[in-house]
């Protein structure tokens, strides 16, 4: 029986701790916390996997069955809620649960690529906004479509202008969602009320974005960059070029801290997002933390336990 607040799994390496977390995470959209192929979720020499859950939502119990299904040599994940796999049931499930995760590879988030940090922030936004992934996917598809059109020497200018208008609209929405998320996280880190020795502030660095950016300026900049983008490929402006950084004491980057200190900061950001979901959106998230104790000294482990105990 799981405790409603905190559950700790411990055991030897390879005993299946992460597999349990992955099985829980498959309740959500996607391919679990490791984002692996469905075939990698199937036990060796078996043809499929099946996971059964009993989920309590607003004091009502739901039987959740998750299994793999092979069609035309491709696997997909199937979810049934009380033996119902309709879109309405899936929508209800997706709107009822929210996941936040920490994986070992996230320890060096501030030393990895800007793409990793953008994805980290976007997952935080998605935890409180169920349609956010669709917005990102549409934006990426529009960028690909624009690049293809630009490579065609005889392209339709009206068609390209319409694509750039859509890119501008969605790009601004993504910028605003990220900026809002960063401001809320910064505010809520302070509200955690813990005795951490550093002041942490997330920032969005983007040479293109500023407070005066509007739809007309965005469209004009895309128009002006057509020749450059056609020559070098890609799109040189937009939220896919942003970098998310963490400033420490308004002086230096978090990447200069030790691995354990960086890990503590990431966990503080996750708990700040928990606070936002609970207090601002009335969402009780499921927080999955894998290999949580490594690289943390006694001080930072106690700090982590104190933070988690508040929830």
What pLDDT shows up at residue 211? 87
Residue 189 confidence (pLDDT): 87
Angle value at C-alpha 87, between 84 and 89, nearest 5 degrees: 50
pLDDT in tens, 131-156: 999 999 999 999 999 999 999 887 88
The whole model's pTM is what? 0.89
CA distance between the termini of the chain: 19
For residue 15, give the DSSP letter.
S
Q: What is the pLDDT of residue 1?
A: 63
**Whole-angstrom Cα distance, residue 169 to residue 217?**
11
Buried b (16+ CB within 10 A) or exposed e, 269-303: bbbbbbbbbeeeeebebebbbbebeebbeeebeeb
Strands 252-253 and 60-71 turn out to be unpaired
Note the pLDDT of residue 207: 94
Report yes or no: 198 and 249 within 8 Å, Cβ to Cβ.
yes
Chain centroid, CA 3 distance in Å: 26
Residue 193: per-residue pLDDT: 66
* More confident: 159 or 45: 159
- Residue pair 108/267 in contact (Cβ under 8 Å)? The answer is no
User: What is the chain's mean pLDDT, rounded?
Assistant: 90
pLDDT in tens, 159-207: 999 999 999 999 999 999 999 999 999 999 877 766 677 889 999 999 9
How do the residues of the chain divide into helix, strand and coil, expressed in percent and rounded to 5? 50, 15, 35
| Order of all β-strands in the sheet with 200-205 | 200-205, 243-248, 252-253
For 84-111, give the DSSP string: B--HHHHHHHHHH--EEEE-GGGGGGGG
Query: Are 95 and 130 a contacting pair, CB within 8 Å?
Result: yes
> How many distinct helices (H) and strands (E) make up the chain?
9, 8
Could you please report the per-residue DSSP string of 255-298? GGS-HHHHHHHHHHHHHHHHHHHHHHS----EEEESS-STT--H
Residue 58 banded pLDDT, cuts 50, 70, 90: confident
């Amino acid at each position: 029986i799981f405790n409603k607040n905190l559950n700790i799994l411990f055991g030897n390496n390879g005993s299946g701790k992460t597999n349990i977390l992955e099985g829980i995470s498959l309740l959500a959209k996607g391919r679990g916390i490791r984002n692996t192929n469905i075939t990698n979720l199937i036990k060796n020499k078996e043809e499929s996997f099946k996971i059964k859950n009993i989920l309590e939502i607003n004091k009502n119990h739901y039987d959740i069955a998750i299994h793999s299904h092979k069609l035309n040599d491709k696997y997909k994940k199937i979810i049934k809620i009380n033996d119902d796999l309709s879109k309405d049931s899936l929508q209800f499930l997706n709107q009822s649960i929210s996941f936040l995760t920490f994986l070992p590879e996230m320890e060096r988030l501030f030393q990895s690529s800007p793409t990793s940090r953008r994805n980290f922030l976007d997952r935080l936004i998605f935890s409180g906004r169920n349609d956010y992934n669709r917005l990102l996917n549409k934006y990426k598809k529009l960028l690909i479509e624009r690049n293809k059109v630009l490579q065609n020497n005889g392209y339709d200018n009206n068609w390209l202008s319409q694509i750039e208008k859509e890119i501008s609209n969605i790009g601004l929405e993504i910028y605003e969602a990220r900026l809002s998320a960063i401001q809320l996280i910064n505010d809520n880190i302070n509200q955690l009320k813990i005795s951490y020795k550093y002041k942490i502030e997330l920032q969005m660095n983007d040479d293109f974005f500023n407070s005066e950016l509007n739809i007309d300026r965005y469209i004009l900049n895309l128009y002006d960059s057509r020749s450059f983008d056609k020559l070098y490929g890609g799109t040189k402006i937009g939220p896919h070029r942003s970098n998310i950084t963490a400033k420490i004491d308004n002086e230096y980057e978090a990447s200069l801290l030790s691995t354990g200190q960086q890990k503590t900061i990431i966990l503080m950001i996750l708990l700040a997002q928990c606070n936002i979901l609970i207090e601002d959106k009335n969402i009780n998230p499921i927080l999955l933390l894998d290999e949580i104790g490594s690289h943390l000294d006694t001080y930072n482990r106690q700090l982590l336990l104190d933070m988690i105990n508040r929830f």
